[in-house]
Amino acid sequence: MGFFNLSAILITLSAAFAYINTRFIRLPRAIGLMLISLIFSLLLIAAGKFSPLFAHDARALVESVDFEKAVLNGMLSFLLFAGALHVNLHDLARSKWTILILAAPGTVLSAIIVAVAMQATFTLFGAHVDFIYCLLFGALISPTDPIAVLGLLKSLGVPKELQTKITGESLMNDGVAVVLFLGLLGVLTGEHNLEAGMFMELFLIEAGGGILLGLLLGYMGHILCKGVDDYIVEVLITLAIVMGGYSLSEFLHTSGPLAMVMAGLLMGNHSRELAMSERTRERVDGFWEMIDEIFNAVLFVLIGLEVLIISLETIYLEAGLIAIPIVLLARLVAVSIPVTSLRHLRPFPKGSVAIMTWGGLRGGVSVALALALPPGEGRDLVLTMTYTVVIFSILVQGLTLRFLIPKQEDPTAPLAD
């Protein structure tokens, strides 16, 4: 199927599901879209019992979407830039140590805990699974997903300081996780050895290079926008930064996600105030809000449709259910350490650990990374576990997070010094 026809189907489904959610169900948009898409997929599977050809066509349609490339090499660059564009850099700087610990050591620690716990679980039940697959699962499931997190935090009235920490972490830890995952994937395919030095070198090159490239792209965008006062040209400049910059990061083998975050932060905080007129700011903001909403809608519809192509074998689903509390426990440990160690330096809002643990949603990035694994039983297992955790994360954690938010907190209150 051609790109245009495939895009037309996805946009049409997204529009239909968004209308149903807004008109009747009224859940947060991301959650509602994925839930409706998931129900739609299960109905297609049920219909396949009566019409195998129909089910085959539906499965072929979903398989024709390269989810990994669509997310990692397409949507992610736009969504990270759009998310970073509206993050206050001053607020981010106040929480920098918490964010840095959560995004780097926290992600690695969580990945190790998940890997060891899953390996122990498999051993306990007499199942043989290579440890490298447990490590890969830990790496791809540990980062919180900015696409799933950003809109939900605002709609639920999470205290501003916690919004900043969770948002900042989710924007940063994708880059860390992708670097860790690619290093482990190289071990699986025989390209690398499982050595700490190799991972440090890869991290410094990919992550450090991505940050520097993002700062350079943001500065260039700032200079260009400062030289004109034409919102169409300035929108095109931001598009060029996202699309051209992400392609350049792949060519240079640096972290595209981190580059987009840094470029978005720089342009969102400096260029919007110092290089754009009020009219241009409104148009640029409106454009990127629309891009964000459209790509979000399509992504969560795709996540729901992906159930058509994952393995629904009972043993894989059971492993996924076991993985849910393990992933939450790893998240709890990764969150508790920075909160406990930094609590004496600055106050944290009531219930911070619980909110940051339960509010650390997983989403499309985890699914995309799982789909990047080479074909085989290990891939099927990791993909099903990932999908199970993501579904639980978005539907259950996303819908119940509001019960953990203290009623007395003012989400607009200034950050503590």
* Tens-digit pLDDT profile for residues 254-266: 999 999 999 999 9
Report, as an integer, the average pLDDT of 126-132.
93
Element (H, E) at 46: helix 29-48
- Residue 407's pLDDT is 67
Q: How confident is the model at residue 414 (pLDDT cuts 50, 70, 90)?
A: very low
Cα separation, 143 vs 137, whole angstroms: 11
> Which of 63-77, 214-228, 399-413 has the highest average model confidence (pLDDT)?
214-228
Q: Is the pLDDT of residue 16 over 60?
A: yes
Cβ atoms 367, 69 nearer than 8 A? no
- Give the pair of three-digit tokens for residue 363: 């989403």
Residue 346 pLDDT more than 90?
no
* Residue 149: band (very low, low, confident or very high) from pLDDT cuts 50, 70, 90: confident
Cβ distance 297 to 29 under 8 Å? yes
Q: How far is CA 90 from the centre of its chain?
A: 23
State the helix-helix crossing angle for 131-141 and 160-189, rounded to 10 degrees.
150
| pLDDT value of residue 61 | 86
Percent of the chain whose predicted confidence (pLDDT) is above 70: 96
Interacting residues of 365 by C-beta distance below 8 A, sequence separation 6+: 71, 72, 76, 140, 143, 145, 147, 174, 177, 178
Q: What is the per-residue pLDDT across 357-387, written as a single tens digit (0 to 9) for each? A: 999 999 889 999 999 999 988 999 999 999 9
Q: Is the pLDDT of residue 95 over 50?
A: yes
Rounded to 5 degrees, φ, ψ at 158 are: -65, 135
What per-residue confidence (pLDDT) applies to 110? 96
pLDDT, greater one: 196 or 226: 226
Under DSSP, the state recorded for 187 is H
Residue 268 has pLDDT above 80, yes or no: yes
Name the band, by pLDDT with cuts 50, 70 and 90, for residue 73.
confident
Render pLDDT for 153-179 as a digit per residue (tens, 0 to 9): 767 777 788 888 888 999 898 888 988
Indicate whether 415 pLDDT > 70: no
Q: For 241-253, write each residue's pLDDT tens digit.
A: 999 999 999 999 9
Task: Go through the chain and tell me how many residues it has.
Answer: 417
**Vertex 238 angle, CA 209 and 76, to 5°:** 60
CA separation for the pair 326, 371 (Å, rounded): 21
Q: 51-65, 97-111, 254-268: lowest mean pLDDT where?
A: 51-65
Question: Is the pLDDT assigned to residue 136 strictly greater than 90?
Answer: yes
Distances (CA, A) of 102 to 7, 142, 178: 36, 11, 15
Q: Which is more confidently placed, 302 or 52? A: 302
What type of residue sits at position 397?
Q
> Using N-to-C axis directions, what is the helix angle for 107-124 and 160-189, rounded to 10°?
60
Rounded to the nearest integer, the mean pLDDT of the chain is: 89
